[in-house]
Amino acid sequence: MMKFVKFLAVVASALYLACLPLALAAPAVTVEPGRIDVGMDFSGAQVRLKGTAPEGAQLIIKATAPGHPTGLSKKGRVGGLWMTVESVTVDGMPGFFQVLTSTGMREVPPAALQQAGVDPAYENLLGMAKVTVKHEEQKVVLDPAAGEEYARGLVEINRKKGLYSIREGAVRVDGGRFEALLDIPAAVPRGDIRIEIFTVAPDGTVSALEPHVLQVASVGLVASLGSLARTNPVTYGILAVVIALATGLAIANLFKYLQKLIFKDEGVSAHH
């Protein structure tokens, strides 16, 4: 069913693209696929961004999604073992942050980078972080200097998960057209990813193209089991138990039957 829908989508978009030369008001940017479905077969995705860009312009593509307050722990050595020595909550950092540029960032005027809200080392994000620590049931906001270690830690965690990335030179520009691939990792948060595209003219003027929204949503079993586990954990727990009991008994009987068939004996009981 999903395959068929995807096929239809592909056919529809192919037809649409074929008609593009006829359409006078062709959109400047296409995002393909237009949404990300996180189903049982999801292991990440690639999104192709294509569009027209003024001759000689540099491009900056920024894809972001809002984040949630995240609990972070600092490990320290306690009696030879690595344990948590401090726990904080970090808020204000994006859940997804990818920057793709057509050239090295050093070749882009700093004012243009600032306008686009990007930099080569996530410094912008560190400034957004609000780090709070609990002291005797009181939430205390750490000053930026003390909180920076945690903000950097979260950047590192998200970078390893592929949620944060900065790829200089990843936007291909050729004859007034550009193309780039956005890598969506398996850990992508559900919700909307906002894709902003900035062009930087040779004289340094920055103009933003129409932003796109890429929807990321759970589908199928991932959606139904995930939402049941969150909204009705008692029912989910009972369901997990019932599924386990039914599977356990059914497979045990199946094996007994197979053994009678193959080995002509009563078989061996698994687990004791």
Partner 1 sequence: MDVYLPIAGMPVNVFLILGLGALVGVLSGLFGVGGGFLLTPLLIFAGIPPAVAAASDTNQIVAASASGALAHKRLGNVDVKMGITYLVGGVLGGTAGAQLVRVLRGVGNYDVTMKIVYVIMLTLVGGFMLIESVNALRGKKKEADPGKPSAFKRFVEKLPLQTEFKVSGVRTSIIFVVGLGFIVGVLAALLGVGGGFITMPAMIYLLGMPTIVAIGTDLFQIVFTSMNVTIQQAIANHTVDVVLAILLFCGSTIGAQFGARFSKYFRGEQLRILLALIVLCVMVKLVFDLVTTPASLITLTAGGGGH
Give me the residues that bind partner 1 (CB under 8 A), please.
38-44, 70-76, 80-84, 87, 149-150, 152-154, 156-157, 186-187, 218, 221-222, 225-226, 229-230, 233-234, 236-241, 243-245, 247-249, 251-253, 255, 259, 267-272
Min dist. Cβ of residue 86 to partner 1 (A): 9
- Environment class of 163 (CB within 10 Å of its CB; exposed 0-12, middle 13-18, buried 19+): buried
Min dist. Cβ of residue 194 to partner 1 (A): 22
Question: Which lies closer to partner 1 via its Cβ, residue 84 or residue 215?
Answer: 84
Cα separation values, 147 from 84, 118, 127, 251, Å = 16, 21, 10, 53
Question: Which lies closer to partner 1 via its Cβ, residue 143 or residue 266?
Answer: 266
Question: Which lies closer to partner 1 via its Cβ, residue 120 or residue 267?
Answer: 267
Question: Which lies closer to partner 1 via its Cβ, residue 181 or residue 252?
Answer: 252
**Token pair of 122, please?**
């996530």
Min dist. Cβ of residue 154 to partner 1 (A): 7
Q: Is 175 left (phi over 0), alpha (psi -120 to 50) or beta?
A: left
**Token pair of 227, please?**
């939402």
Min dist. Cβ of residue 150 to partner 1 (A): 6
Q: What is the dihedral of CA 254, 258, 259, 264, to 10 degrees?
A: 140
Question: Which lies closer to partner 1 via its Cβ, residue 76 or residue 176?
Answer: 76
Rounded CA gap, 248 and 140, in Å?
50
Integer Rg of the chain from CA = 25
Min dist. Cβ of residue 145 to partner 1 (A): 16
β-pair partners for 31: 49
